[in-house]
Amino acid sequence: MEAISDLVARLNAQAADQSALERLQALRAALPGPIVFTTSFGVEDQAITHLIATAGLDISFATLDTGRLFPQTYDLWAQTEACYGIKVRPFFPQAEAVEAMTTAQGVNGFYDSVDARKTCCNVRKLEPLARALSGAQGWVTGLRADQSDHRQGLAFVSYDEVRGLVKLNPIFDWTRDDAAAFTAANDVPVNTLHAQGILSIGCAPCTRAIAPGEPERAGRWWWEDEAKKECGLHVGPDGRLTRTGAPT
């Protein structure tokens, strides 16, 4: 079998001249085991869902239901499953962990400090993500380079050393306008909150609409410094965003 480092390098080299669908197809062809696409039902994820579902790719759908999502997100979840005839498997936080955290820091304690907010993200997102990706060889996400300065140093394909799998960002080089145009042209259902100025949608208490001129992710964890605005899904043990490294 091709070494992981060689596979990552090859897929990255090919990706520059491929469409998003071709990148997904290349990853599926390269890995014999399960591939999971984690969706939060944002416009990027809806575009990827459309590509996977209409092409009939053997890639499973999963989402992290934190228990504090917007009602509109649940509506879109149901609409997406009906539109494409798919099932998006939910992964919920452990009840005991949520109870202990809420008892310790309060129902909205994540506003009090970065550490408290990261604790909430760990309980509601990171632990469920570990279960969602358990046994997978590949992970597909909707990350784009222009979402934030922190994400511009990423790549189409990387090796996630913590989780031991190959990670693909198939629309990494798209802009938000590209994603919006794609969904509009293909009648892809999108979250009605986007029309209200909420461009990056997460948990309801941690998301707000952005003002004119603000960057796309300014509405996420708006009470924190920009440098701290990652929940941990895409960072390594050092707290930095995972890059292109692969085992040698």
Round to whole Å and give the CA distance between 160 and 146: 21
List phi, psi (to 5°) of 61.
-105, 135
Round to whole Å and give the CA distance between 80 and 87: 9
C-alpha distances (whole Å) from 239 to each of 118, 229, 243 are 11, 11, 12
- The answer to whether the Cα torsion of 101, 221, 202, 60 is positive or negative is negative
Q: What pLDDT sits at residue 216?
A: 83
Q: Any idea which residues carry the catalytic annotation?
A: 231
First to last CA, the chain: 14
Give, for 6, the enclosing helix (H) or strand (E): helix 4-15
> What number is the average pLDDT over the span 60-68?
98
Of 1-5, 83-87, 101-105, 239-243, least confident by mean pLDDT is: 239-243
Q: What pLDDT sits at residue 126?
A: 97
Q: Cβ distance 202 to 220 under 8 Å?
A: yes
Q: What pLDDT sits at residue 150?
A: 56
Q: What is the average pLDDT value for the chain, to the nearest integer? A: 90
Q: What pLDDT sits at residue 242?
A: 45
Confidence check: pLDDT of 180 > 70: yes
> What number is the average pLDDT over the span 110-133?
97
Confidence tier at 237 by pLDDT (50, 70, 90): very low
Confidence check: pLDDT of 236 > 50: no
Q: What pLDDT sits at residue 115?
A: 95
Of 60-64, 93-97, 122-126, 159-163, least confident by mean pLDDT is: 159-163
Burial class (CB in 10 A: 0-12, 13-18, 19+), 213: exposed
Beta bridge partners of 203: 69
Confidence tier at 226 by pLDDT (50, 70, 90): low
> What number is the average pLDDT over the span 153-180?
93
Confidence check: pLDDT of 173 > 50: yes
CATH number of 4-194: 3.40.50.620
> What number is the average pLDDT over the span 84-111?
98
Round to whole Å and give the CA distance between 203 and 199: 13
Give the helix ranges, DSSP H, for the chain: 4-15, 20-30, 43-55, 71-84, 95-105, 114-121, 127-133, 176-185
Q: What is the pLDDT of residues 208-218, one digit of tens each?
A: 999 998 888 88
